[in-house]
Amino acid sequence: MPSPRTIFPEDPPLPALPTLLYNLSHYCLGGVQLVKWIYWVLLFCAAIWALGLLPGQWWGMGACLLLLVALMLTLLALRRHDFVTFDPLPLPDRTAQRLTPKQKIPVHATGLFAVENKHRRYTWLPGFYRTFATRERALLCQVQDRNFWHISHWPEADIGLWYVFFMPEAVQQIRWGQLRFGRTIRPAIAITYQISQPRRKGRADLNQETVYLAVQNLEEGHLILADLHQDVPAHVWIDAASTGAAQ
């Protein structure tokens, strides 16, 4: 019998400023990100007011430039944390229990993804957490072909499957908490791990990355924690109850 078709989790975040700016910075019109179109419109309007072609010359120009700077700074601040906020919570009790290679836990993942030597940062990608017989963990996520306001689309080169892979010995920290993306809040696991990223002239940098796994319910989150507890050493588990850690 053929394998059942994989259906990725459907759980779009509730609209809010971070989700809007995330969409504006990814969807494209004419090959240009929507947010850059807004930059150009604000600059154009500021120039029109500066030339005195509209009433309130300096007030109008100043308002456009202020909006431009505010938009750029807000987008920069949100991008630093991939448009999400992670609130640490005390670690739940857990017993080591490895998932089988056939098991797939649905998640919405946020962080640095890769495929065919390409790397991209995405937020709230639907996908699955899996573990293999080699002890390697994987996130298999999907960028879907969607339109935004019926006038723009996700870049065609980004459509498809994107992945995160890590071995237990690469894990530096594991935290339990809640992930906020706009007005959407879900139980989540933050996994900080080391990743080797190639650069020019054949060299590679060893960097730290954090991937956030938002789960649909506590039970599925506990299954992932139990699987990680099977191989990940005790010193990487960060308990907010004892450390007061916060992001």
Domain ranges of the chain: 17-79, 85-243
Sole residue written with tokens 């071995």: 167
Q: How does DSSP classify residue 135?
A: S
- Fold classification of 85-243 is PH-domain like (2.30.29)
Report pTM.
0.90
Helices (H), the chain: 17-24, 34-50, 57-79, 218-229, 240-243
Predicted confidence at residue 149, as pLDDT, reads 73
Structure tokens at 172: 């530096």
Q: Are 218 and 244 in contact (CB under 8 A)?
A: no
Question: 228: phi > 0 → left, psi -120 to 50 → alpha, else beta; which?
Answer: alpha
pLDDT tens for 55-83 read 777 888 889 999 999 999 999 999 999 99
Quick one: how far is CA 183 from the chain centroid? Answer: 15
Q: Which residues contact 206 (CB under 8 A, 6 or more apart)?
A: 194, 195, 196, 197
Stretch among 11-15, 123-127, 177-181 having the lowest mean pLDDT? 11-15
Predicted confidence at residue 203, as pLDDT, reads 65
- In the chain, the percentage of residues whose pLDDT exceeds 70 is 93
186 pairs with which residues across the strands? Answer: 179
Q: Are 21 and 148 in contact (CB under 8 A)?
A: no
Predicted confidence at residue 204, as pLDDT, reads 65
pLDDT tens for 24-61 read 999 999 889 999 999 999 999 999 888 877 777 788 88
Q: Which residues contact 236 (CB under 8 A, 6 or more apart)?
A: 171, 172, 173, 174
171 pairs with which residues across the strands? Answer: 193
More confidently predicted of 78 and 202: 78
